[in-house]
Amino acid sequence: MSLRLIQGVTMASRVGGFALLGLVMSVSVALRAAPGQAQTTQTQTQTTPAQPAAPGTVQPPPQPSASQTAAQREQDLRRNPKGREWGTVLLAITGACAPPACSIQVDTTPLLPFPAPPNTRELRLDSGRYLITLVNNGEASYEQLTVATGGRENKIMKLPAAVVAAPPPTSGSVTVVVPLASRVTIGSVSQEVQTEATLSVPLGTHALRVENANGTEETTVALTAERPNTRVVILAARTAPAPSSPGAVSSIRWVAIATARIQLGCPKNEADCQAEEEQKAASDDVRAFQMMATEVTAGQFEQWLRTSGPATSTYDRASWSNQIPVGELAQHPAVNVTWDEAAAFCAQPAVGGRLPTEAEWESAARGGRAIRRYPWDSAAGDPERLRNTGPLAPQQAQSGASTTGARKLGNFADASAGRKFSDWMVLPDYDDAYPYTAPVGSFRAVNGLFDIAGNVYEWTSDTFDDPRGGKIATPGLKVLRGGSWTSTPPQSLRTAHRMFLAATRRQTDVGFRCVK
């Protein structure tokens, strides 16, 4: 068992405008091979052709103009040019067609561009049944056509509506979450916010200012056409210079965890239990302690490295960090952090803490209950509905997820990740709107703790062992808890779920939070 390595990721390829055309080509082969089934396909997908001018008459198509060459007016598509079993089809279209945007395809032949208006094309074909595809700027319609020996068929097809690209957005939105009533100002937009509000602002980089009874906090947000909406969680406004505010440890919020006695591990009757998760026979007495409400952010960790962290650190941001707006990145959890660096951060005087033990982490996730399969309460809904159903093809991914944490459980491998990584096993019916990590505090809290499941795995102070197999603690391997943005639920959402990693390793889905 090991963590998913975020290496060699195959990015999802973009589906082109002719994706439907590929489907049409496959259907055409089926039509030629199984005539008995062709009529059903025609009924389901056929585009209605133009109606004749009067009942019982055939509307003649426009005739080729004198300016068109013979090759434009006529094309021989017979497989056996010397054979006698063939007929002629004169194709015409209704609707404006500006070559080369519109084209015709007969079964699987290459696309044949229509000549200039009056947009007619004469084809000589072997007798038989054909699938005629009309393409207009990536949109396609198709009909079946039967060619009789020695016959001449006049065929009119309706040009499908062209794909009209939506104009790029010129504005977006910033959702701001504040700990108490605040005056929020983004650029020239200012609003009183009680707990959470969404402000509409133009695309671009804007200064974000939050003022409340605790003081003032400032940062920046960047909205682009690719990502016009973002969410910023302000845990505590304070009076400080703007550049250092995203990394200030004084903004850490602590949650009190009461004394508890727990049996650490996975109960025997719980589904999905793994060998290394077996419930221990003896109970653990966990004294009251305080835990950070969120995972340590990139802004907090990098500020510590710049001021008092180890000078020899080889820490670097994740390779995908450049896809996240700079102002937002400081609010994402710190990743690529070794166990020693995490322990040193927690132990600094400004924090005065340490990494949690496994028992402390699990006690906090259970919220004082003796047994709790998932950390969320019943109001969050049933996490089992998120069960994975198989690989997600890029074109199956559906957007439109809410970035409001009240309706989402957390950040996992879901449809958002599937749009980035086509070969991942993901949750196709769940979309947290973040393909990588998400800003801390973006989702439903568990007893005041955010991202206790998902976003990033969290270092604990314990050395890994396997109680069921009788394996003793393995020096150098430390226990991870909580699942991450790379995890496919529900197995990795369970409170008893545990993983391990070498203390010296840096991983893009591993972070931490402190206790004291």
Residue 155 has pLDDT above 90, yes or no: no
| Structure confidence at residue 132 (pLDDT) | 85
Query: What pTM was computed for the model?
Result: 0.53
Residue 438 CB burial class (10 angstroms; 0-12, 13-18, ≥19): buried
Query: Per-residue pLDDT for 33 more than 70?
Result: no
Per-residue pLDDT, 378: 65
Mean pLDDT lowest among 57-66, 315-324, 500-509:
57-66
pLDDT at 211 over 70: yes
CB 295 within 8 A of CB 263: no
Q: How confident is the model at residue 380 (pLDDT cuts 50, 70, 90)?
A: low
**Interval 348-376: pLDDT, tens:** 999 999 999 999 999 999 887 777 888 88
pLDDT class for 276, splitting at 50, 70, 90? confident
pLDDT of residue 136: 79
User: Does 206 score more than 60 pLDDT?
Assistant: yes
DSSP 3-state assignment of 337? Answer: coil
Fold designation for 170-239:
Immunoglobulin-like (2.60.40)
Most distant CA pair in the chain, distance: 95
Q: Which amino acid, one-letter code, is at 464?
A: F
Q: Which residue has the higher pLDDT, 302 or 8?
A: 302
Is-same-fold flag (19-35+71-158; 170-239)?
yes
Q: What homologous superfamily is domain 19-35+71-158 in, according to CATH?
A: Immunoglobulins (2.60.40.10)
Q: Does domain 247-511 have CATH number 3.30.450.20?
A: no
CA neighbor of 186 nearest in space, from 20, 116, 178, 271: 178
Helices H, strands E: what count in the chain?
A: 8, 23
User: Residue 404: pLDDT above 90?
Assistant: no
The domain segmentation of the chain, as residue ranges, is 19-35+71-158, 170-239, 247-511
- Closest to 492 measured CA to CA, from 481, 478, 476: 481
Helices assigned H by DSSP within 323-454: 326-329, 339-347, 358-366, 415-420
Q: What is the mean pLDDT of residues 34-47?
A: 32
